[in-house]
């Protein structure tokens, strides 16, 4: 089995240096030895080595979680970066193209996210102790890709810039009715109503924790009359809206339900309406999401390729008005989250336990490395029902952002006067 382990590591590591210490104490090195930092990983038992050889995509994370794969030099992020950076633009260090295609076919046939399963999937991740998210998110609890306008921008500034960028693309006007699908803890709804001036924002979520918090925040900001937060599946929403936005939710829909999603949103969007879909995506060919992620972090999750979304958009009668690809923005977001989490790891261990902390560190590290070295990006798709709804050039986005910055300053001063 050690021979197979050596072969696996030789395949996975092309540049850099990975030193492996087996359970029997033997050592070998994979890679060309170039670059730093070098990484040393050690197996605590022979069964762990066998498990990694048989199913590396799943077992690497599980063995780290269980403390059976130990990093003696370097961090788990260093190991994952070493494994991924030799294959830029791809997805999956060890999975063959045939295996990926077979898993994709199985996903299309059997993976269903009906309302009951969707609620269970959301509960698995988003209804954890709210104090966990306070350890690493910004104060507004933006749990999606930030928008870094310049190098060195802080996470808090970049998350505010993300909300501003989305609001600018939505072209929100006073009196508009806005639907926020997957509203999280309510931060974007607060921005659209409190800064952008939307007349009514309806946010829907399947998370009981997020529902309660978002309602409390709306009341605290004096916006309960203009923000409604519903514990509801988006498929149950009724009425029509001037604007529809969805940030970080589409990844949970699943390919079997893409047509249902776009048919539903097309029916909710007014004839002259604008929709903005912000989702993690792949610039490569469609493929299955990492099995460790779907088992331990985001059950039912799937990373869409444009080729999977566009046919459903077309059949729903929606028009693609604009596409923006945010490259490396999520890698920087995850780097900030990981740094904040590790700085407060002891608090996380008191809330949950050490195994959970290792799981969460692996989740943040593996996602950061994937966005930095593989084919993962964030898509912002602007959708309309007519061609003449949004301006014909992109100049309006910058103009709207400048206007919103001024409104943010006024909102901040007003809030200070209320609390002063």
- Give the active site residues: 367
b (16+ CB within 10 A) / e for 320-356: ebeebebeebbbbbbbbbbebbbeeeeebeebbeeee
166: nearest Cα among 154, 184, 152, 151: 184
The C-alpha R_g of the chain, in whole angstroms, comes to 22
Separation of alpha carbons 316 and 322, rounded Å: 17
Separation of alpha carbons 163 and 147, rounded Å: 8
Separation of alpha carbons 410 and 344, rounded Å: 34
Using CA atoms, how far residue 46 sits from 22, 73, 159, in Å, is 8, 20, 45
CB atoms within 10 A of CB 396: 14
CB atoms within 10 A of CB 105: 11
Task: Give helix 354-373 / helix 56-65 axis angle, nearest 10°.
Answer: 140
Given a contact cutoff of 8 angstroms between Cβ atoms, the answer to whether 50 and 4 are in contact is: no
Given a contact cutoff of 8 angstroms between Cβ atoms, the answer to whether 304 and 279 are in contact is: yes
Using CA atoms, how far residue 159 sits from 66, 132, 139, 154, 187, in Å, is 33, 19, 10, 9, 10
* CA-based end-to-end distance of the chain: 68
Q: CA-based diameter of the chain, in Å? A: 70
Cβ neighbors of 106 (< 8 A, separation 6 or more) are none
Phi first, then psi, for residue 186 (nearest 5°) are 90, 5
Residue length, the chain?
420
């Amino acid at each position: 089995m050690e021979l197979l382990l050596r072969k696996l590591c030789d395949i996975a590591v092309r540049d850099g240096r990975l030193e492996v210490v087996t359970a029997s104490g033997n050592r070998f090195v994979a890679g060309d030895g170039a670059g730093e930092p070098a990484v040393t990983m050690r197996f605590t038992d022979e069964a762990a080595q066998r498990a990694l050889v048989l199913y590396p995509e799943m077992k690497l994370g599980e063995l780290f979680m269980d403390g059976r794969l130990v990093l003696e030099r370097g961090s788990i992020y260093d190991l994952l970066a070493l494994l991924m950076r030799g294959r830029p633009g791809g997805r999956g260090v060890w999975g063959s193209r045939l295996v990926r295609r077979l898993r994709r076919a199985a996903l299309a046939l059997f993976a269903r996210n009906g309302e009951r399963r969707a609620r269970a999937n959301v509960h698995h991740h988003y209804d954890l102790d709210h104090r966990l998210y306070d350890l690493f998110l910004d104060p507004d609890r933006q749990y999606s890709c930030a928008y870094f306008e310049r190098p060195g921008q802080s996470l808090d500034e970049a998350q505010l810039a993300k909300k501003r960028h989305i609001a600018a693309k939505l072209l929100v006007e006073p009196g508009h009715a806005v639907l926020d699908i997957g509203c999280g803890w309510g931060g974007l709804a607060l921005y659209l109503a409190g800064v952008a001036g939307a007349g009514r924002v309806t946010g829907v979520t399947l998370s009981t924790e997020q529902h309660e918090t978002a309602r409390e925040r709306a009341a605290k900001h004096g916006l309960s009359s203009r923000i409604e937060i519903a514990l509801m599946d988006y498929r149950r929403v009724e009425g029509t809206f001037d604007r529809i936005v969805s940030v970080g939710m589409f990844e949970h829909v699943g390919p079997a339900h893409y047509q249902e999603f776009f048919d539903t949103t097309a029916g909710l969007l007014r004839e002259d309406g604008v929709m903005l879909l912000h989702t993690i995506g792949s610039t490569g060919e469609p493929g299955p999401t990492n099995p460790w992620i779907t088992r331990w972090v985001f059950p039912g999750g799937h990373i869409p390729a444009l080729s999977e979304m566009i046919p459903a958009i077309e059949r729903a009668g929606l028009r693609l008005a604009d596409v923006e690809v945010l490259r490396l923005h999520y890698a920087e977001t995850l780097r900030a989250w990981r740094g904040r989490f590790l700085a407060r790891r002891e608090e996380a261990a008191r809330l949950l336990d050490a195994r959970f902390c290792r799981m969460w560190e692996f989740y943040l590290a593996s996602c950061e490395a994937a966005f930095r070295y593989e084919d993962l990006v964030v898509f912002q798709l602007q959708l309309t029902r007519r061609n003449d709804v949004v301006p014909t050039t992109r100049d309006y986005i910058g103009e709207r952002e400048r206007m919103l910055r001024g409104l943010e300053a006024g909102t901040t001063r007003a809030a200070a006067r209320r609390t002063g």
